[in-house]
Structure 1
Amino acid sequence: MANVVVISKTIVRPESYNDGSDRVKIHLTPWDLFFLRSEYPQRGLLFPKPDPETEIISRLKSSLSVALKIFYPFAGRLVKIENEDDETASFYVDCDGSGVKFVHASAKTVSVSDVLKPVNGNVPGFLSGFFPANGVKSCEGISESLIAFQVTELKDGVFIGFGYNHMVADGSSFWNFFNTWSEICSTGSNRKKLPPLLLRGWFLDGIDYPIRIPISETETPTQIVTSSSLLQEKVFRFTSKNISELKAKANGEVDSDDRKISSLQAISAHMWRSIVKNSDLNLEEVIRCKLLMDMRRRLNPPLEKECFGNVVGFATATTTAGEMVKNGLGWAALRINKVVGSQTNEDFRVFAENWVKKPIIPNQVAVSNSIIVASSPWFNVYGNDFGWGKPIAVRAGPGNTSDGKLIVYPGIEEGNIEIQTCLSSHVLEKLSTDAEFLKHVCVV
């Protein structure tokens, strides 16, 4: 384990915050509340070492303060109201300017190569010490900051780790914020030159808010802790050539003129099939592939793609291990393609209307024998330059880590896609030596 030394912990507040009566209250939708028990998703970027004369911490803090003036919901806190008349609770985000957690740390025994080229090829365990919100759940946003940062100085680089409350924002909103922060830091742009935040100005007709949830559903149950050593992570890279080949293969096997398999659907199907084949499942066992989808442009009327908030839906493809083994890549990709296409405004609304009648908040999103495809290869990850160079790599940290979790990123080379894959150690070992799987992918 790397020796991580915490140098300082501070709270960064929005620039010149005015805590007047005009502060915003954000009501939460069924899709927000669905993540009430979920841990903060955590991501991190590895950067080259800045010039010793660059005062990166003060620079990062001052620019973060400006960015938070624009993305003010992150600087607020979650509020819980207990409704004694019917033993329910309601939640909203109070944009009160409380600020965000900022940790400055040092791990001078760790080098960039230790992160990029670990000894056994797995994502190194010491990375967990580079993240600021380990084990923090969304419901803890009452007292915990809704986004947190940790800047860890390495021997020859810098790692910026972050975790955020999924009820407040999704990946699209988070990366919009991060892109803005890095631009402010590198160019000195002030918030007056940047567009104001576009809040999610939409709510379901016919649903009263704040939504009331039974108290029992808002409490975090005691969970049986399983050994994390049973799970391991690797990063797999699909080159643009790999992606083109898989996409052509999948479409060539699909007998449908009106269905076109996308790049992400093709590589998701390749991962799904390969994981199932190496999992020693009974042929009758039900298996699932869940994809988190940005629903902004699928709603009617559609939301602006830049609007801030959490607007994700789940598309779930279901089959059996036997059917998966019996059929080819195109068949699996078509299952994914159809459920993605079925995510409409009507389905989104029906889910919400039914959920409000009987709110159920899962302890975790993952279920047995499933893979979950999260994040996106279209997020602007490698365009973030704080003034001393663009990122060298991106990694996911602890947070909603589960067997079958696939975190998708763009590759550092244009056209590539990388997937940080979390699986039980014996399945990951078999997958990493599967010649058919490795024909279209490589281990980073």
Structure 2
Amino acid sequence: MGDGEEVEVISKSIVRPESYNEDSDRVKIHLTPWDLLFLGSEYSQKGLLFPQPSDPETNIIPRLKSSLSIALKIFYPFASRLVKIENDDDGTSSFYVDCNGSGVRFVHASASSISMSDVLEPVDGTVPEFLKRFFPCTGVKSLEGISDSLIAIQVTELKDGVFIGVGYSHLVTDGTSIWNFSNIWSEICFNGSDHRRTFPPLVHRGWFLDGIEYPIRMPASLTPETPDVVGTSSSILLQEKIFRFTSENISELKAKANGEVSPDDRKISSLQAVSAYMWRSIVRNSDLSPEEVICCGLMVDLRRRLDPPLEKDCCGNMVGTAITTTTVGEMFNNGLGWAALKINKSVASQTNEEFREFAADWVKNPSLLDVSTVTNSIAVTSSPRFNVYGNDFGWGKPIVARAGPGITHDGKLVAYPGIEPGNIEIQTCLSSSVLAKLSSDAEFLKHACLV
């Protein structure tokens, strides 16, 4: 089967929240500096592969849409639109999210000649090109949320399976909130609209920096009417592969990393140990000179780190990035434990004070995230702690999780739980030459395997 395989769009529609009330449900959400950072970025994309329903009479599309409508009543910010204000007095622009019940884009597609095995066992282990067409919002930027939905759903029916892809703007959600939403949507769908339980009201992020006037004013030049895609231009050929770390691999790496540092520092987590191992292995295969500066960014949930802390499940975009910097020479003069401990300390430095300082500085000098300018870096996104395999819509649990092409760049690593408890899978995007070397690196493959 070639990459030109057709994915046919059967229908497009808008799903709105159930029983939306203009008077009581319409609220305005102001955006924080770490929301506005993403204004020029593409939507993120996550997806799940499911088996086909065993009953051929099962019509999943109406069921998914009706349950989605109920879920959007709870997760009302997802059915909103972005509003841009032109401030003529000083030539700036401001933005807020209008919870107006406009709904989300829902795409029903068919890929009847593609089977689950094409996704699960791709040729030469490279994530297949056709997978990109299983996701909505490819190439859509958060600024386009003025007219487009801030999240979108695509359901693609395969020969023997179903792929549900979600695209979402970081203006309203992050990985924590999108998986919470998916868990509740799937529960409603599983139980049927007539057997729903009462869900607690959504807790929305209510944290703002003292002394900042909202909505925040930004130079109009930062947010043109027709923005360029941020972070996708690249002169190198990028490819993606999935690497699996078994619970045994992870235990070995975690023990090795903690064994190489002082007793007082033995707090290196599984993800930190795996991230350090991936970082070292990628750099080793990148032909960089010893003096070159290298970075590792690890996404951090801010909710419980603020003072006062937010609810751990509160809805919104609450991610920071712990950035660890060193040189190639320094990395290889030291061991795995040293690199993992540097990551550990970067994560620990993500404090309430750091966030407040970042926010205050950003308001004085607004800027947008641009991953295309970053070199010699990896960025570990998502989390193996997310409840990925609890998303049963009523015909079976997911078989695998995948990320879409949104915000893809050289060095992006998406971490998921594996289907076997304790496993971690890393969807790895690198230049094709580095990825080829990594895939045949005997030292790397002692603790990882190509999926």
Normalization by structure 1: what TM-score? Answer: 0.97
Measured after TM superposition, the shift of residue 363 of structure 1 is: 2.9
Runs of 4+ in 1 over 6 A off after TM superposition: 222-225
The alignment partner of 1:349 has SS state of helix
Which residue, 32, 35, 49 being the options, matches 1:32?
A: 35
Instruction: Determine the C-alpha separation between the residues in 2 that align with 1:142 and 1:235.
Output: 35
Instruction: Determine whether 1:46 maps to 2:49.
Output: yes
User: Contact 1:70 / 1:191 at 8 angstroms: preserved in 2?
Assistant: no
Instruction: Determine whether 1:137 maps to 2:137.
Output: no
The alignment partner of 2:286 has SS state of coil
User: Contact 2:322 / 2:346 at 8 angstroms: preserved in 1?
Assistant: yes
With 248-257 and 414-423 compared, the bigger mean Cα shift is at 248-257
User: Contact 1:9 / 1:104 at 8 angstroms: preserved in 2?
Assistant: yes
With 49-58 and 15-24 compared, the bigger mean Cα shift is at 15-24
Q: Which residue in 1 is equivalent to 2:73?
A: 69
What are the residue-to-residue correspondences of 1:44-443 with 2, within 5 Å? 44-50=47-53, 51-188=55-192, 193-219=198-224, 220-221=227-228, 226=233, 230-364=237-371, 367-443=374-450
Instruction: Determine the C-alpha separation between the residues in 2 that align with 1:229 and 1:343.
Output: 33
Instruction: Determine the C-alpha separation between the residues in 1 that align with 2:342 and 2:185.
Output: 39
Instruction: Determine the C-alpha separation between the residues in 1 that align with 2:9 and 2:317.
Output: 31
User: Contact 1:366 / 1:372 at 8 angstroms: preserved in 2?
Assistant: no
Are the structure 2 counterparts of residues 175 and 3 from structure 1 closer, same or farther at C-alpha, using a change threshold of 3 Å?
A: same
Measured after TM superposition, the shift of residue 364 of structure 1 is: 3.0
Measured after TM superposition, the shift of residue 65 of structure 1 is: 0.3
Measured after TM superposition, the shift of residue 119 of structure 1 is: 1.2
What is the number of residues matched between the two proteins? 444
Instruction: Determine whether 1:6 maps to 2:9.
Output: yes
Instruction: Determine the C-alpha separation between the residues in 1 that align with 2:64 and 2:196.
Output: 15
Gaps of 5+ in 1: none
User: Contact 1:67 / 1:191 at 8 angstroms: preserved in 2?
Assistant: no
Gaps of 5+ in 2: none
With 399-408 and 222-231 compared, the bigger mean Cα shift is at 222-231
Amino acid at match of 2:50: F
Measured after TM superposition, the shift of residue 415 of structure 1 is: 0.5
With 327-336 and 258-267 compared, the bigger mean Cα shift is at 258-267
Normalization by structure 2: what TM-score? Answer: 0.96
Amino acid at match of 1:19: E
Which residue, 9, 17, 22 being the options, matches 2:20?
A: 17
How big is each residue's C-alpha offset from its partner over 1:291-322, in whole Å with a ceiling of 9 and x where there is no partner? 11101001100000011001111100000111
Amino acid at match of 2:23: G
Instruction: Determine the C-alpha separation between the residues in 1 that align with 2:233 and 2:99.
Output: 36
Instruction: Determine the C-alpha separation between the residues in 2 that align with 1:212 and 1:191.
Output: 42
The alignment partner of 1:105 has SS state of strand
Give RMSD over aligned pairs.
Answer: 1.5
The alignment partner of 1:133 has SS state of coil
Measured after TM superposition, the shift of residue 177 of structure 1 is: 0.4
Measured after TM superposition, the shift of residue 382 of structure 1 is: 0.5
The alignment partner of 1:176 has SS state of helix
Measured after TM superposition, the shift of residue 128 of structure 1 is: 0.8
Measured after TM superposition, the shift of residue 218 of structure 1 is: 1.5
User: Contact 1:100 / 1:145 at 8 angstroms: preserved in 2?
Assistant: yes
Measured after TM superposition, the shift of residue 226 of structure 1 is: 4.6
Are the structure 2 counterparts of residues 221 and 65 from structure 1 closer, same or farther at C-alpha, using a change threshold of 3 Å?
A: closer
How big is each residue's C-alpha offset from its partner over 1:87-115, in whole Å with a ceiling of 9 and x where there is no partner? 10000000000010000010001000000
Instruction: Determine the C-alpha separation between the residues in 2 that align with 1:191 and 1:311.
Output: 29
The alignment partner of 1:319 has SS state of strand
Are the structure 2 counterparts of residues 227 and 441 from structure 1 closer, same or farther at C-alpha, using a change threshold of 3 Å?
A: same
User: Contact 2:244 / 2:426 at 8 angstroms: preserved in 1?
Assistant: yes
How big is each residue's C-alpha offset from its partner over 1:227-279, in whole Å with a ceiling of 9 and x where there is no partner? 68700000000000000000000001112414411100000000000000000
Instruction: Determine the C-alpha separation between the residues in 2 that align with 1:224 and 1:203.
Output: 28
Are the structure 2 counterparts of residues 225 and 48 from structure 1 closer, same or farther at C-alpha, using a change threshold of 3 Å?
A: closer
Amino acid at match of 2:362: W
Instruction: Determine the C-alpha separation between the residues in 2 that align with 1:373 and 1:256.
Output: 26
Amino acid at match of 1:34: L
Instruction: Determine the C-alpha separation between the residues in 1 that align with 2:359 and 2:138.
Output: 30
Are the structure 2 counterparts of residues 137 and 17 from structure 1 closer, same or farther at C-alpha, using a change threshold of 3 Å?
A: same
Amino acid at match of 2:423: N
Instruction: Determine the C-alpha separation between the residues in 2 that align with 1:346 and 1:365.
Output: 29
Identity %: 73
Amino acid at match of 1:152: T
